[in-house]
């Protein structure tokens, strides 16, 4: 009976957690081998990236005179790009220095976090995988940088391709294995094999003729299906397998990835709404200068969240970070919409009344936003607490009501407070309170 209960405790959601969690640490000579191999791959990655960034800056200083498709394929400057840079007060040399410097600076953050994890947890298998993923993924994330080295020196085509493949495969393994280091559910290991085969095939796509449309659609569906399996695997693990610490680590990763994707998409939206002509990547505009560094800066949230999840997961409460992000993100979006909406409405009103625009519209909108800041913040905070943090919100309301209960003497006021707390915390369709009429106890007559 006792053995059966222990067996049931190990099985969570149909997954034997004890069987799916292998030993987390390396021992003996494997530790030395893993460290030497890690450092060799890391040094090769950093060397190729830095050399590629330098060669990339040299490429951008030259004007591409080939066909538009070739120039666009390798992100090279065309005569039109040079004219656009001149109109912005930039030269090709300064643009080349800017793009090369930003790629090295942002890649250095990925490397620094990977090296920190390696230095702190080099005997942990999952930490080794994650740290090597952070280092090698820079080759896959900035393909034009490493591609410049391969174009200038064909002998590096194979090393660059292998490192890019390694970065893609480690990224896949990270989402399938994090945080415990085991495949959960177990069948995701077969999807990992499919992902590896798909990435290996991509290495030879450039040397093959363009496939039919249905083949392209098939591979696109396979790619997005595998991306969806990452989300499913992490959700399944979080709900059925992970413990409290692992769930906290998962929340950090989800927060970093979602915030990075939202920020990157936000940097791309002006291409379609503000500057429709800039939807082509060969066009350089004022926003392109900002977007080059802005999108890479948002992607830094991924390595930063991974570093916190692995190294500092016990020191921070991710719920507080998410709560503040939801509150102040929603507050900022609401205030910006109200501010610009108020300016537009007031300007139209002034034009109708006086026939001209007035700076008073900006002043009135600014004062209105300042007056609405605290009330809006409290309402948004209350809404988010009720919808996403119901348990903590109810506990605070219960404690507040208990304090009021000790001090309240008016029965009618106490009834109103009780109904209000129940309506706000439970949110039923209808609330009513019935009190039994007071009847004096009857005394027994003594004979």
**pLDDT above 80 (res 249):** yes
**pLDDT above 50 (res 322):** yes
Q: Check: CB of residue 267 under 8 Å from CB of residue 294.
A: yes
Q: How many CB atoms lie within 10 A of CB 253?
A: 21
Instruction: Return the pLDDT at 30.
Output: 85
Q: State residue 38 phi and psi, 5-degree precision.
A: -60, -45
**Best CA proximity match to 286, nearest among 39, 87, 133:** 87
224-232: Cβ within 8 A, 24+ apart: 226/172, 226/191, 226/194, 226/195, 226/198, 229/188, 229/191, 230/172, 230/175, 230/176
**pLDDT above 50 (res 16):** no
Q: Which of 35-44, 79-88, 153-162, 420-429 has the lowest mean pLDDT?
A: 420-429
Separation of alpha carbons 146 and 103, rounded Å: 11
Q: Please give the helix or strand (H or E) that residue 15 lies within, else none.
A: strand 15-16
**pLDDT above 50 (res 418):** yes
Q: How confident is residue 111, by pLDDT bands cut at 50, 70 and 90?
A: very high
Better pLDDT: 314 or 26: 26
Determine whether 315 is exposed, middle or buried from the number of CB atoms within 10 Å of its CB (0-12, 13-18, 19+). exposed
- Cis amide bond preceding 179, omega within 30: yes
Separation of alpha carbons 176 and 194, rounded Å: 13
Q: What is the pTM of this model?
A: 0.66
Q: Check: CB of residue 346 under 8 Å from CB of residue 361.
A: yes
Q: Check: CB of residue 369 under 8 Å from CB of residue 335.
A: yes
Instruction: Return the pLDDT at 43.
Output: 95
Q: Which of 39-43, 262-266, 310-314 has the lowest mean pLDDT?
A: 310-314
> Each residue of 405-417: b (16+ CB within 10 Å) or e?
eeeeeeeeeeeeb
Q: How far apart are the first and last CA of the chain?
A: 62
Q: Check: CB of residue 141 under 8 Å from CB of residue 166.
A: no
Q: How confident is residue 77, by pLDDT bands cut at 50, 70 and 90?
A: confident
Q: How far is CA 196 from CA 141, 192, 309, in A?
A: 17, 6, 26
**pLDDT above 80 (res 385):** no
**pLDDT above 50 (res 294):** yes
**pLDDT above 60 (res 147):** yes
Q: What average pLDDT does range 259-272 have in this prediction?
A: 77
Separation of alpha carbons 200 and 102, rounded Å: 29
Q: How confident is residue 15, by pLDDT bands cut at 50, 70 and 90?
A: very low
Q: How confident is residue 138, by pLDDT bands cut at 50, 70 and 90?
A: very high
DSSP assignment, residue 14?
A: T
Residue 202: both structure tokens together: 């991509």
Q: What average pLDDT does range 358-366 have in this prediction?
A: 73
The count of C-alpha atoms lying within 13 angstroms of the C-alpha of 21, restricted to the half-sphere facing its C-beta, is 16
Angle between helices 125-141 and 301-311 (to 10 degrees): 170
**pLDDT above 90 (res 224):** no
Residue 306: both structure tokens together: 């991974």
Q: How confident is residue 438, by pLDDT bands cut at 50, 70 and 90?
A: low
Could you state, in order of their start, the residue ranges of all structural domains in the chain?
A: 8-316, 326-388, 394-425
Q: What is the 3-state secondary structure (H, E, C) of 411-440?
A: HHHHHHHHHHHHHHHCCCCCCCCCCCCCCC
Residue 401: both structure tokens together: 């009501």
Separation of alpha carbons 290 and 202, rounded Å: 31
Q: What average pLDDT does range 369-386 have in this prediction?
A: 78
Q: CB under 8 Å to 233, separation ≥6 — which residues?
A: 175, 176, 184, 185, 188
Question: Measured in whole angstroms, how far is the alpha carbon of residue 70 from the centre of its chain?
Answer: 33
3-state secondary structure of 26: coil
159-210 pLDDT, tens digit per residue, is 998 999 999 999 999 989 988 888 888 899 998 898 888 888 777 665 566 6
Residue-averaged pLDDT of the chain: 75
Separation of alpha carbons 111 and 109, rounded Å: 5
Q: What is the 3-state secondary structure (H, E, C) of 85-153?
A: HHHCCCCHHHHHHHHHHHHHHHHHHHHHHHHHHHHHHCCEHHHHHHHHHHHHHHHHHCHHHHHHHHHHC
Q: Check: CB of residue 365 under 8 Å from CB of residue 342.
A: yes
Better pLDDT: 338 or 258: 258
């Amino acid at each position: 009976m006792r053995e059966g209960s222990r067996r049931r405790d190990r099985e969570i959601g149909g997954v034997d957690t004890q069987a799916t969690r292998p030993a987390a640490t390396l021992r003996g000579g494997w530790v030395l081998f893993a460290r030497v191999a890690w450092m060799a791959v890391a040094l090769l990655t950093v060397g190729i990236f830095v050399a590629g960034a330098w060669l990339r800056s040299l490429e951008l200083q030259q004007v591409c005179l080939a066909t538009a498709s070739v120039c666009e394929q390798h992100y090279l400057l065309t005569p039109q790009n040079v004219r656009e840079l001149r109109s912005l007060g930039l030269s090709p040399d300064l643009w080349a220095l800017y793009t090369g410097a930003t790629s090295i600076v942002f890649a250095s953050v990925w490397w620094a976090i990977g090296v920190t994890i390696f230095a702190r947890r080099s005997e942990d298998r999952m930490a080794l995988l994650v740290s090597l993923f952070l280092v090698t993924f820079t080759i896959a994330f900035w393909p034009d940088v490493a591609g410049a080295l391969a174009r200038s020196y064909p002998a590096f085509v194979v090393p660059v391709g292998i490192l890019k493949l390694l970065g893609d495969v480690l990224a896949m393994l990270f989402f399938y294995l994090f945080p415990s280091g085991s495949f959960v559910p177990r069948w995701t290991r077969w999807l990992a094999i499919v992902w590896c085969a798909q990435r290996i095939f991509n290495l030879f796509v450039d040397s093959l003729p363009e496939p039919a449309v249905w083949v392209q659609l098939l591979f696109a569906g396979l790619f997005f299906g595998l991306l969806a399996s990452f989300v499913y695997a992490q959700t399944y693990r979080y709900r059925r397998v992970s413990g409290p610490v692992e769930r906290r680590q998962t929340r950090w990763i989800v927060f970093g990835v979602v915030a990075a994707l939202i920020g990157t998409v936000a940097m791309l939206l002006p291409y379609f709404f503000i500057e429709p002509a800039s939807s082509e990547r060969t066009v350089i505009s004022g926003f392109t200068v900002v977007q080059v560094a802005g999108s890479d800066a948002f992607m830094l949230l991924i390595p930063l969240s991974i570093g916190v999840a692995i190294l500092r997961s016990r020191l921070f409460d991710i719920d507080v970070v998410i709560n503040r992000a939801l509150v102040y993100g929603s507050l900022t979006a609401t205030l910006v919409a109200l501010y610009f909406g108020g300016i537009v409405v007031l300007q139209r009103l002034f034009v109708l009344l006086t026939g001209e625009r007035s700076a008073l519209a900006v002043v009135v909108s600014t004062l209105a936003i300042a007056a609405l800041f605290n009330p809006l913040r409290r309402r948004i905070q209350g809404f988010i607490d009720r919808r996403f943090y119901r348990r903590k919100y109810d506990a605070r309301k219960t404690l507040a009501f208990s304090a009021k209960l000790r001090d309240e003497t008016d029965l009618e006021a106490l009834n109103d407070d009780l109904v209000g707390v129940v309506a706000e915390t439970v949110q039923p369709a209808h609330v009513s309170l019935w009190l039994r009429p007071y009847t004096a106890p009857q005394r027994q007559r003594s004979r």
